[in-house]
Structure 1
């Protein structure tokens, strides 16, 4: 059974925020896209579904490889962006774990940082498996836990400013969650009946303008954005000061930030 409270909360964090996402988290999430497509075996002539396409970054790259692409997302502003950024893709409104497409209709399914926004990750993986033909491939990414410095920056800044994480934020129940480690992520795919499961950790330093990186949570994106929006102006200013202080060691000579980060990339074959 899908955790509708969790799903509704996650979708509310992205509603109407495609532009803010592109300014802040979009470039970060784009980094693993080529590796994701490689892991899914995406090339010319392959039929691919990009689930949770966001602004269409992965879909556009798949089109560039000569693939036939269906791109789906639950958020209308993201769908508008995907139609602009990935002309030639069949862009549709849909979300895990219910994709209105035929069983076995694709050579590959990819989901870039999507399962972390799904109330039942196991059901999400099972749906990705369903839509891919036998012998086809599934490739997915999530953020690891413990968090790398980039992702940990927000929580550290909130704590330093004296802001506690609200108890009412929706969370996955333990029986639906999985360890955000290579073994835990691989286990999620294996439990769905996928074969030849492989999970690797990608590491890089994300370069961003400090104002752009602050803009995402300031616009209400993600759980951190919700916490920030709930604070009175004086507290938000205190969080911003802590953010600037904690980000200072990562500042480059040109004023940009180079924040160490990582992602888990798991892939498998449909038996």
Structure 2
């Protein structure tokens, strides 16, 4: 199946951003990793796939448990950085929904926020199911909707500055989307043929600094970074000034930025043949 305009936009959004991502958003995204591994049943000796590894935080944690880890990312810079950071993992370049692995190869599959970045989530999940052995588990995290206040901060700054999402950044097609709720994510897993599908919310306060939090979008990291930089330096500076003002709501007396975030953690078990859905 061909990649969608959303997929192609995501590739451009993440190209060349590995270092800037790791220094900012990467720390945020690493927070759910221990619970993600628990939900997938990652133990010593398990064959584990980390889909959408980014700079390798989940792969590193799985290796630390003694698992045999394969990690993939669509962005070559991310894959190279993960390979250097996690020498115990086999890191390759691959993009959902196409993985270069045989049916049922893995005992456990994890995807830390990877479904937020694919154009066809159902096809992506079907591919993850295909490469998981019968009885193996798949565990996924996803940003919840509506966004928590900390997650919404940068978007609020963009809107306050009067900047809109450019047409060159397509949203997920409505027919490919699903409710970013506990019920919506469980339904997605069940529709993919996973048994014992469960989902629970995760909430935490991410501690950073205004400078660190702004550095990611200022460097063009992710879709928010492309929006921030889409209308030139004057618009970027206008957004930055709005961000500085809005960030005061979350800044403590010590200067730390404390940002409430909310995500979903879901998992399910593969039944039957790894390539069969139903």
Using the size of structure 2 for normalisation, the TM-score is: 0.95
How many equivalent residue pairs? Answer: 271
- Provide, for residues 77-103 of structure 1, a one-character-per-residue CA deviation record: whole Å limited to 9, x for no partner: 111111121111011111111110110
Shift of 1:2: 4.5
Residue 62 of structure 1 is matched in structure 2 by 62
Residue 219 of structure 1 is matched in structure 2 by 219
In the alignment, structure 1 residue 206 sits paired with structure 2 residue 206? yes
Q: Relative to structure 2, which stretch is displaced further, 216-225 or 190-199? A: 216-225
- Provide, for residues 27-52 of structure 1, a one-character-per-residue CA deviation record: whole Å limited to 9, x for no partner: 00000000000000001111100011
In the alignment, structure 1 residue 149 sits paired with structure 2 residue 146? no
CA contact 2:48–2:69 (8 Å) conserved in 1: yes
Secondary structure at the residue paired with 2:174? coil
Residue 100 of structure 2 is matched in structure 1 by 100
Residue 162 of structure 1 is matched in structure 2 by 162
* Cα distance in 2 for residues equivalent to 1:88 and 1:32: 21
Secondary structure at the residue paired with 1:140? strand
In the alignment, structure 1 residue 124 sits paired with structure 2 residue 148? no
- Provide, for residues 92-134 of structure 1, a one-character-per-residue CA deviation record: whole Å limited to 9, x for no partner: 1111111101100110000101111101000000011111111
In the alignment, structure 1 residue 245 sits paired with structure 2 residue 245? yes
Shift of 1:3: 4.3
CA contact 1:2–1:120 (8 Å) conserved in 2: no
CA contact 2:166–2:230 (8 Å) conserved in 1: no
Secondary structure at the residue paired with 1:205? strand
For structure 2, the residue ranges without an aligned partner over 5 or more in a row are 272-278
Secondary structure at the residue paired with 1:184? helix
* Cα distance in 2 for residues equivalent to 1:31 and 1:148: 15
* Cα distance in 1 for residues equivalent to 2:112 and 2:265: 9
Residue 51 of structure 1 is matched in structure 2 by 51
Secondary structure at the residue paired with 1:175? helix
* Cα distance in 1 for residues equivalent to 2:192 and 2:224: 31
CA contact 2:140–2:266 (8 Å) conserved in 1: yes
Residue 41 of structure 2 is matched in structure 1 by 41
- Provide, for residues 211-230 of structure 1, a one-character-per-residue CA deviation record: whole Å limited to 9, x for no partner: 11101111111222111112
* Cα distance in 2 for residues equivalent to 1:92 and 1:237: 37
CA contact 2:52–2:114 (8 Å) conserved in 1: yes
In the alignment, structure 1 residue 16 sits paired with structure 2 residue 16? yes
Shift of 1:164: 2.1
CA contact 1:132–1:270 (8 Å) conserved in 2: yes
In the alignment, structure 1 residue 32 sits paired with structure 2 residue 36? no
Secondary structure at the residue paired with 2:176? coil
CA contact 2:145–2:181 (8 Å) conserved in 1: yes
Which structure 2 residues correspond to residues 222-237 of structure 1 after superposition, within 5 A?
Answer: 222-237=222-237
In the alignment, structure 1 residue 73 sits paired with structure 2 residue 56? no
Structure 1 segments of 4+ aligned residues over 3 angstroms from their partners: none
Residue 255 of structure 1 is matched in structure 2 by 255
Using the size of structure 1 for normalisation, the TM-score is: 0.97
CA contact 2:34–2:61 (8 Å) conserved in 1: yes
CA contact 2:206–2:260 (8 Å) conserved in 1: yes
* Cα distance in 2 for residues equivalent to 1:165 and 1:92: 32
